[in-house]
Amino acid sequence: MSAPKPSPLRVAVIGAGPSGFYATDALLKQRESVSIDLFDRLPTPYGLVRYGVAPDHQKLKSVTKLYERTCSDPRVRFLGNVEFGKDLTHEDVRRHYHAVVYTVGAPSDRQLGIPGEEKSGCLSATEFVAWYNGHPDYAGLEVPLDAESVAVVGVGNVAVDVARVLSKAVDELAGTDMADYAIEQLRESRVKDVTMLGRRGPAEAKFTTKELRELGELANADIVVLPEELEVSEDSMKAIEGDATRLKNLEVLREMAAKPLEGKPRRLHIRFCVSPKEVLGGQRIEAVELERNRLEATQSGTIQSVGTGAFETLPAGLLLRSVGYRGTALPGVPFDARRNVIPNDRGHVLEAAGGAPLPGEYVAGWIKRGPTGVIGTNKADAMETVEQLLSDDLPAVDAADASPAAVDQLLHKRGVHPFGFEHWLALDKYEQEAGTSAGRPRVKVTAVEEMLRFAEAEAEA
């Protein structure tokens, strides 16, 4: 039997994206006497809902209404503008909280590992997405939109998002909450051809059918799919047996391949069985060398690509790699560098992969299971973690340290000024009001200093 829980149970949740909010919500629902501090390194909450989900998919962002409700509970404090590892250390959370839940997401990306990818004009989709969504860290990114051809490496939903954004007419995006500077720069875009590159075949592509279909319905771009790249082997068909999404994708791709071009201003190509092997050009990318692949079934039945030795050159003045987000280590917290996650057993942090559990330390979301799944996937994931937390014996904490005031003092002493939820609500209102006159959901503030003024304004009032 586990020992009685401290009352109130003090929990630090590190990262205010979907998994941070779902973990907070699960704690509130399952325990009356709880006091939660929800931290984020940015003044703004909501993680990738604000800075990842595409601006032309606005409806999905309404999930933040639920998160807003979570934060209106008096047992929760939002402390934005506090970075774990810098403003608040591992030692601090162990001293001031009975438990900590890391929900920091997977902010980095994977490299292609090919010669020439350091050339200018080669970016990650992670950076490009953060740039057009107004993430403060990426507002100054240089995106060479003078390129007429763009290669997007990958055929997952993030690749679909960036290919769609680059293919749309700017007026289709100007009514969204895309960052103003991105709208301005996309207005000058000279992009004519966007080519998505899949290493394996159409049956293996990871995009979902709704997102794929949308690419075939763009007002500003013809879709180009080569019929010869849609041939699917018996092994591939066997591997996707019963997978409704993949089977439907094949159907949609065949319809796309049969569709005549309508002479729209841009073309969006979806290619399969090709791998980028080298980025060509001088200081700046001019083209990508592609190798054609054939597919082979492994002994376990999964389909892998194998180079054929046949090459082609795809002109490209901009390359966006979209081959996966990647978790990074937090100072003082165990990290599994092979899987790029915090090692855990159903959300309980382990001292190393396969090692002993660390008392009072938990993890949820992308940094727990890797960068897969939609917003809702993080709910069940966070609930599993909270179940572990509430069933464990938690370390004792000195009563004087376990108070919100003790954390306030600590941050104050370090010159750290948390951005509270009331400050966020003021900023949110300002952004939405700025959007109203322009018929947009909001006009985003993209500089941290400007965001922080909403806290200063209140302090001066």
Ligand X SMILES: Cc1cc2nc3c(=O)[nH]c(=O)nc-3n(C[C@H](O)[C@H](O)[C@H](O)COP(=O)(O)OP(=O)(O)OC[C@H]3O[C@@H](n4cnc5c(N)ncnc54)[C@H](O)[C@@H]3O)c2cc1C
Residues that bind ligand X (CB under 6 A): 14-20, 39-42, 47-48, 52-53, 57, 60, 83-85, 103-105, 107, 129, 158, 161, 325, 330, 365-366, 373-375, 378
Query: Residue 325 phi/psi, 5° resolution?
Result: -80, 165
Residue 189: C-alpha distances to residues 144, 236, 278, 444 (Å)? 9, 38, 25, 21
Nearer to ligand X, 314 or 349 (CB): 349
Whole-number CA gyration radius for the chain? 24
Closer by beta carbon to ligand X, 37 or else 291: 37
- When the beta carbons of 289 and 387 are compared against ligand X, the nearer one is 387
| Residue 147 CB neighbours (<10 A) | 24
Number of helices and strands (H, E) in the chain?
Answer: 16, 18
**CB 328, min distance to ligand X, A:** 8
Report in angstroms how near the CB of residue 103 gets to ligand X at its nearest. Answer: 5
Q: Which residue number has the CB closest to ligand X?
A: 17
Q: Please state, in angstroms and rounded to a whole number, the distance separating the CA atoms of residues 459 and 82.
A: 18
Query: Which C-beta is closer to ligand X: that of 281 or that of 347?
Result: 347
By beta-carbon proximity to ligand X, the closer residue of 281 and 423 is 423
- Shortest CB 374 distance to ligand X, Å: 3
Q: Give kind and range of the element (H or E) at residue 428.
A: helix 421-436
* Nearest approach, Cβ of residue 296 and ligand X (Å): 30
Distance separating alpha carbons of residues 349 and 103, to the nearest angstrom: 12
Separation of alpha carbons 340 and 367, rounded Å: 8
Phi-psi region of 105 (alpha: psi -120 to 50; beta: other; left: phi over 0): left
Instruction: Collapse the DSSP code of 146 into the 3-class scheme (helix H, G, I; strand E, B; otherwise coil) and give the result.
Output: coil
For ligand X, the closer CB: 309 or 415: 415
CA distance 90 to 38: 15
Q: How far is the CB of 454 from ligand X (least distance, A)?
A: 18
In the bound state with ligand X, the residue whose beta carbon lies nearer, of 16 and 273, is 16
Nearest distance, CB of residue 265 and ligand X, angstroms = 25
Kindly state the smallest distance separating residue 300's Cβ from ligand X, in Å.
Answer: 27
Residue 384 structure tokens:
């599993």
What backbone torsions phi and psi does residue 35 show, to the nearest 5 degrees?
-140, 115
CA distance 455 to 449: 10
Q: What is the DSSP string of 57-96?
A: -GGGGGGHHHHHHHHTSTTEEEEBS--BTTTB-HHHHHHH
Q: Output the smallest distance, CB 80 to ligand X, in A.
A: 9
Rounded Cα gap, residues 461 and 455, in angstroms: 10
Residue 57: CB minimum distance to ligand X, A: 5
Instruction: Choose between 315 and 404: whose C-beta lies nearer to ligand X.
Output: 404
Q: Which is nearer to ligand X, 83 or 392 (CB)?
A: 83
